[in-house]
Structure 1
């Protein structure tokens, strides 16, 4: 049998084989070096070095750097992750998703997206940080993390994201043209509750910052997300959409003030995340429904994922920070990302415990 082991764990595996008196021999001491020699060593070494330097989470990065980082992870860890183009934006940019999986057929799914609102730069930074840590420390993670397929989309709105770097830092919508106006608020473009509450929950005016679009899923970005989740054979247990700012963890409903059927369960799961975040970084994240903690928001991704995609644990995490609003200093990227990852990992434990303790698991896909 041939096995491939990450360099940092080679001595541990060798010790395990030795203790069990299993004879072994090292066929290739450094597979990565051999692969680089087989291809273009100078070009590939320089490219990986540039990616490593760029994604240090000490700065905010452009779309090409984020996509190169994702490709780099897939290149270095092909047995664990892959990059898929799930669609195109209005202006023709790729919607690139990173899937992290150990390949087990009974894995359940976790969706994580960022930058549906492009001015919220910290959301893309946190999703890439989570991707990096999951891949590089996968074998150190608890079973509640490794028994899942992770679907990560750092930039759901690539056109808008680039626009915030080149033209308008505070841009919120995508870049679709409707008459003389530009942009749809993608987090008002999902079907469940779409158009509810009139101008209070979204807007029918293309010039409004909360413009919901002419119909649900009119935009290629939201349609791509819908397609991936509904067409997937994966049983998704968790849906997480990262935003800023506010330091809150919110769940359905947004289109109505009524509590959703699983209000208490979602409150407990969100509280589990909030406690882990506080223990990690000392920041207090409030937990509650979208309407209770924020305002009416009709046609959101979390209302849709909960009601239509039947993903019980659907949350929108509003990241730091209240002081700097959308302009969170780059010095807070790492601490924000670390505390949120701690919260998400704790949520995975919570979800698995709940499913194991009930005969009829509430998070089974129907």
Structure 2
């Protein structure tokens, strides 16, 4: 008669142990607010990232402190280096594993109160599971057969379909219409970009009320560039950034940074040649199916793409080429104009908790050089306007955790859509 109660206790104990075992790889890690006061300090900070095994979660700028994760073995040397350089810092989270457990509790409790639009099975006020996203894309195409086509761009390393939606009133047959290309989720852990991308789909299909955006433009939306990595962050390692390929035959260090894998000064700046590092550029240019996926979309539609926006997090920055060198694109005025237009659109709805977006060339705003990025590649082969939008996330000087609190997701998707819509219209004026 005591068997069932004992079994219940054992099951509960096992479940507790399983939950408690999650995020164990981050035992002893700390995260720090780091606030460089000059471009020189910012550059020095980035130059030491590989030396101290730094994981930059929220990119610092001269105006805004960032958040950096530091391995236990590197913490003392990292702090000594900051003090030597005169860079201000403070502890963000003293125990990363415990904070990740708390973040899980926040997201799990938030799931109990999901809100959905009338026509959608996808929550736009919470983080979205991969299977749910796939269902949503299929259902959206079925509900909107006159404007929306679901396409596949090959398979990921782990065999997942790489999906994108084409949205058009003319089935992409009117060659005079500019194309707006939006992607998200090339870095697996940057979750907030994905609901922004699916919200853009929603506003162009089920909840379309700005009809000029479909009359004047065709749209291509890629909600998850890196589904393997995204699923891995949901199930295994919250801070996983790379793809999940195994081109080096090293199961301990799989994947590459897909946003360092494009054919533009590949493997020269801001990358690592160590497969275990977060910024490993891959064994060769376009070694990753995810980067080839975006390349093929860009190349196929190159003649008509007016604006390419790639969504990242965190940072509250909008940057444009070049990333691989200090120096401006020949189209810098147009790039800056569209960036400012997006910021002004966002500011109409923005909350005071987050800093105003900074706009500028990538190398100058971020204080580091990066090669092989998707926006630089697209711009180098002829896309006139390419922007990286780093969405808001961690509240400055708050120890709120590592994810954007789900209560802010609806806010971020709404304000970002307003900015993207304004930016698309501005791009249309500049390109035509």
Q: Same fold (TM over 0.5)?
A: yes
C-alpha separation between the residues in 2 aligned to 1:53 and 1:238? 27
Quick check: 1:141 aligned with 2:217? Answer: no
Structure 2 equivalent of residue 119 of structure 1: 189
Instruction: Select 1:184's aligned residue among 243, 256, 259.
Output: 256
Shift of the alpha carbon at 1:353? Answer: 2.2
Residue 164 of structure 2 aligns to a residue in which SS?
strand
Residues 318 and 326 (structure 1), Cα distance of their counterparts in 2 relative to 1, 3 Å cut:
farther
The CA deviation string for residues 161-198 of structure 1, in whole angstroms up to 9 with x for no partner, is 1001110011000001123221100000001121223x
The CA deviation string for residues 16-70 of structure 1, in whole angstroms up to 9 with x for no partner, is xxxxxxxxxxxxxxxxxxxxxxxxxxxxxxxxx9995641212211111001001
RMSD of the TM alignment (CA)?
A: 1.9
The CA deviation string for residues 171-229 of structure 1, in whole angstroms up to 9 with x for no partner, is 000001123221100000001121223xxx11111111100001111111111211122
Q: TM-score, normalised by structure 1?
A: 0.79
Residues 182 and 317 (structure 1), Cα distance of their counterparts in 2 relative to 1, 3 Å cut:
same
Equivalent residues in 2 for 1:60-99 (5 A)? 60-99=127-166
Question: Any conservation in 2 of the 1:173–1:184 contact (CA below 8 Å)?
Answer: yes
Residue 110 of structure 1 aligns to a residue in which SS?
strand
Instruction: Select 2:404's aligned residue among 319, 324, 328.
Output: 328
Which stretch shows the higher mean deviation, 310-319 or 173-182?
A: 173-182
Equivalent residues in 2 for 1:183-262 (5 A)? 183-197=255-269, 201-232=270-301, 235-262=304-331
Structure 2 equivalent of residue 108 of structure 1: 178
The CA deviation string for residues 80-105 of structure 1, in whole angstroms up to 9 with x for no partner, is 10101111100110001011110151
Question: Any conservation in 2 of the 1:145–1:348 contact (CA below 8 Å)?
Answer: no
C-alpha separation between the residues in 2 aligned to 1:245 and 1:151? 23
Q: TM-score, normalised by structure 2?
A: 0.67
Structure 2 equivalent of residue 34 of structure 1: none
C-alpha separation between the residues in 2 aligned to 1:346 and 1:51? 26
C-alpha separation between the residues in 2 aligned to 1:270 and 1:142? 23
C-alpha separation between the residues in 1 aligned to 2:394 and 2:331? 29
Residues 232 and 270 (structure 1), Cα distance of their counterparts in 2 relative to 1, 3 Å cut:
closer
Instruction: Select 2:370's aligned residue among 297, 319, 324.
Output: 297
Residue 218 of structure 2 aligns to a residue in which SS?
strand
Instruction: Select 2:348's aligned residue among 276, 279, 290.
Output: 279
Question: Any conservation in 1 of the 2:189–2:230 contact (CA below 8 Å)?
Answer: yes
C-alpha separation between the residues in 2 aligned to 1:271 and 1:81? 30
Shift of the alpha carbon at 1:277? Answer: 0.7
The CA deviation string for residues 280-304 of structure 1, in whole angstroms up to 9 with x for no partner, is 2245111011111112211000000
Long gaps (5+) in structure 1: 1-48, 357-366
Question: Any conservation in 2 of the 1:115–1:161 contact (CA below 8 Å)?
Answer: yes
C-alpha separation between the residues in 1 aligned to 2:428 and 2:302? 19
The CA deviation string for residues 122-164 of structure 1, in whole angstroms up to 9 with x for no partner, is 11111001101111243x3152553211111100000001001
How many residues in Structure 1 have an aligned counterpart in Structure 2? Answer: 303
